[in-house]
Structure 1
Amino acid sequence: IRGEERTFRTRLFGPHQAENLALAAVSGKLLGAGWEAVEKGLLRVENPGRLERLPWPGGKELLLDGAHNPEGAWALREALHFHGLLPAALVLAFSREKDHRAMAKAFKGLGPVVLTRYASPRSQDPRALLPLFPGALVEEDPLKALERAFGFADRAVVAGSLYLVGEVLRALRGLPPEERWQ
């Protein structure tokens, strides 16, 4: 809205999320909502699996982000840098049909990588990805991959596929916190 400047708080992370929320805020106002309603709405916004931060036992942190295409991988990279969320270990799985080379380029240098797969025939064999991720480890089971990632850093990022993020979330819901990585 011309000439107006507003600051809003949100639970979402990442510059790309801020841009999306700014557009939503202006759209809400132009559609007749008052700024107070827009502000309340933005405070309630959730975007599961998109830079979702979860506490982990021992003062560690888990970040979940689909980052399932090159643009998403670059947005995740930018957000990790922007919010000072590095160093972090990455747990990555990709669908077969994705641009693995471009995604590997976006994730390069962010931290140690553990390659895994999600439970679907669409999931790329993690061993086939090793040439794109020199020095990466392979752990077929996503929760075991997460355990290995936490051996490298106090922050782990699960990314590369919304299927992987969903699978990890479902598995974690079934485990009490003290048993999440035993």
Structure 2
Amino acid sequence: MPPASDAPEIVPQGKTSDAVLDRLTRLHPKVIDLSLGRVERLLDRLGHPERRLAPVVHVAGTNGKGSLLAFLRAMLEAADRRVQVYTSPHLVRFHERIRLSRGLIDEAALIALLERCEAENGPEPITFFEVTTAAAFLAFAEDPADILLLETGLGGRLDATNVIDRPRLTAITPVALDHQQFLGPSLEVIAREKAGIMKPGVTCVTGPQEPAALAVLEQHARETGAPLFAYGRDWTFTATPGGFRYEDAKGLRKLPKPGLLGSHQIANAALAVACAAQLGEFDLSDNAIEAGIARATWPARLQRLTKGPVVEALPAGWELWLDGGHNPAAGQALAETIRAEWGEGAAGRPLDLVYGMLDTKVAAGYLEALAPLTQSLQAVRIPGEAASLSAEAAADHAQKAGIDAAPADSVLAAVQRLVEEGIDSGSGKPHRILICGSLYLAGHVLAENG
């Protein structure tokens, strides 16, 4: 069984997982090339670890996958279940992607599994996500657990995780426009790709959906023979001042406010409750569900930063926040959360943004939602990301969205300039600064200030 983070590590001298991971990035000329053939070939050579897993909850969707899994994990762990989790991308270290029943996979185990996959694959083309997903399946197959929470990387139908013949449950979070260059130009086409994780006879729980997306999911469920447990038809929720009410055929439940901020996190928590309702054999009591909702944590989801060099650059009373949302729907959810948590006009406290985004994203739609709430913006290139917008291009997008914006050389330089401008304004009001626009930017910031 691969040791986890609470076990002593014995790392081969001179070896690092980063070195192996770097080699694996060069096995395919493309970062993304959606297909199942290559990963199926490697899994066959590895003895099919994907067939020796704990019961799997397989999750697809555009927004909220990580938060849904965070709520489910917290609920299951509150019920003393051994939980494995597979997510992507990571924020700071690759190890975050593979959570075993006793903690994150450790360095020695990760190196051994990656090298095993590298040797079995040989020089044949395979994407980074495919080969590392195979390594994750090996880790999970050798680690005793009660359940595996499995997040798709991109889409669903041709995602490397979609090799589980019969998961215990599938779930689809809200579908929105994102990754159109890989998944298709319309909401309906993207929904069809997400629906590809459905399996005959396996219940699929769906979160709130646009009507066009829901129609596609319903049609695919009928074609596949997958029972659908759909929001708005089979279950629903309503936000309350103290939390939310969840209702399905079994009745009405009053539940606490989620530990994660935002009205969209109430929707994610409610979807987790709907999934829990389909996992009866795990005996998730009311206490476990309520504890999971309240205790769930997920980095870079409107997270306040309290240490590090960027925080130290702030005057007394100023606040620094971080969010990794990166598409128009995430921008809208973030704007709604700011209004709900901080008030219209940020309750008299000016809000400034430090913003960076990949050039594959829809920058305008994301920024337009935040423009009415934002006093000014400093744009940065995401360090180490070839696909990042330049600081100048990111600033131009912000200007077109109606935000006073300028490029900056780094996150720290951006914050220092915002502080100078805030002090020079003479208002005397402490500001909130929100770093946003990309999970990759969020990961860089957490590595320096987490």
TM-score, normalising length: structure 1: 0.85
Letter in 2 for 1:149: L
Query: 2:279 aligned with 1:14, yes or no?
Result: no
Offset at residue 150 of structure 1 (A): 4.1
Paired position in structure 2 for 1:146? 415
Q: CA RMSD in A?
A: 1.9
Question: Which stretch has the larger CA shift, 104-113 or 33-42?
Answer: 104-113
Question: Aligned with 1:5: secondary structure?
Answer: strand
Equivalent residue runs for 1:25-174 within 5 Å: 25-32=273-280, 33-55=284-306, 56=311, 58-84=316-342, 86=346, 87-111=350-374, 112-119=376-383, 120-134=385-399, 135-151=404-420, 152=422, 154-173=431-450
Structure whose alpha-carbon radius of gyration is higher = 2
The one-letter code matched in structure 1 to 2:409 is E
- Partner SS, residue 109 of structure 1: helix
| Deviation readout 1:25-81 (Å, 9 max, x if unpaired) | 232244231110111112221111111123456232222111211111111111111
Contact 1:143 1:168 in 2 (8 A): no
Distance in 2 (CA, whole Å) between partners of 1:65 and 1:170 is: 14
User: Is the alpha carbon distance of 1:156 and 1:170 closer, same or farther for their aligned partners in structure 2, counting shifts above 3 Å?
Assistant: same
1:85-118 per-position Cα deviation (integer Å, ceiling 9, x unaligned): 5231111001011112222312212221111111
Give the Cα–Cα distance (whole angstroms) in 1 for the partners of residues 278 and 254 of structure 2: 14
Structure 1's 118 and 129: CA in aligned 2 closer, same or farther, altered over 3 A?
closer
- Given the alignment, which residue of 214, 237, 253 partners 1:5? 253
Structure 1: gaps spanning 5 or more residues: 174-182
Distance in 2 separating the partners of 1:165 and 1:6: 34
Moved more, 98-107 or 111-120: 98-107
SS at match of 1:59: coil
Partner Cα separation in structure 1 for residue 278 and residue 363 of structure 2: 40
Aligned equivalents of 1:149, 1:11: Cα separation in 2: 30
Letter in 1 for 2:369: A
Alpha-carbon contact 2:351-2:433 (below 8 Å) kept: yes
Contact 1:150 1:156 in 2 (8 A): no
In 2: Cα distance, 1:123 partner to 1:40 partner: 39
Return the offset for 1:136. Answer: 0.7
Identity %: 31
Is the 1:93–1:124 contact (alpha carbons within 8 Å) kept by the matching residues of 2? yes
TM-score by length of 2: 0.36
Taking the aligned partners of 1:96 and 1:12, their CA distance within structure 2 comes to: 28
User: Greater shift after overlay, 109-118 or 23-32?
Assistant: 23-32
